[in-house]
Amino acid sequence: GNSVTQMEGPVTLSEEAFLTINCTYTATGYPSLFWYVQYPGEGLQLLLKATKADDKGSNKGFEATYRKETTSFHLEKGSVQVSDSAVYFCALRQGAQKLVFGQGTRLTINP
Amino acid sequence: NAGVMQNPRHLVRRRGQEARLRCSPMKGHSHVYWYRQLPEEGLKFMVYLQKENIIDESGMPKERFSAEFPKEGPSILRIQQVVRGDSAAYFCASSRQGEGFEQYFGPGTRLTVT
């Protein structure tokens, strides 16, 4: 079946550091890939997405590229801020079906 | 345009009681998904519904759990005879067919079973 594996957390960085959160997936066919962010006490918000190989999703300084050859969708940001502290989830979806989530990575940014 | 609404936000039940969780999708959305998030874990799919139809319930526990999405009114996730292991955050998402099926999430209902 489909699955998503994320880099284990928690991750703690200083403000303005470079961020990478690894995500790899297993799926048949060509799933769409997503990164969601969850702030404390809130629901999930879509951060970015990519629907086909080599697509790059980007939003709020975050980027991720759909790499079919390595089945990866790593999340990156060049300079993190304290306000980026949250839990980040990588997910995949095929067609109108359910989202399959990774286990989440808790990110803490210290000033 | 209001987002996905869930209520209650917090629900406390004693073991053996029933829990009813409600989800009102975004306006114009006819697809609803329920997910469960156990503490320190990712979200796990439970059930996918369209108006008056269950499309995929492969993630629903076989007993005590049921879901509906009637023609009028919100979607309801019902848990009968709750146990401590049911304590979790339950998230609803909705989508409108034809927009790449993007799912928009509600704020969740946090169920605590004492």
Q: How far is A45 from chain B (nearest CA, A)?
A: 7
Q: What is the pLDDT along chain A (111 residues), one digit of tens a residue?
A: 889 999 888 999 999 999 999 999 999 888 999 999 999 878 889 999 999 999 999 999 999 999 999 999 999 999 999 999 999 999 999 766 789 999 999 999 999
Map residue A84 onto helix, strand or coil.
helix
Chain B: residue nearest A9 by CA?
Answer: B40
Which pLDDT tens digit goes with each residue over A70-95? 999 999 999 999 999 999 999 999 76
Query: A51 vs B100: CB contact, 8 Å cut-off?
Result: yes
Cβ-contact A23, A74 below 8 angstroms:
yes
- Closest by alpha carbon to A17, among A81, A66, A95, A71? A81
Cβ-contact B2, B26 below 8 angstroms:
yes
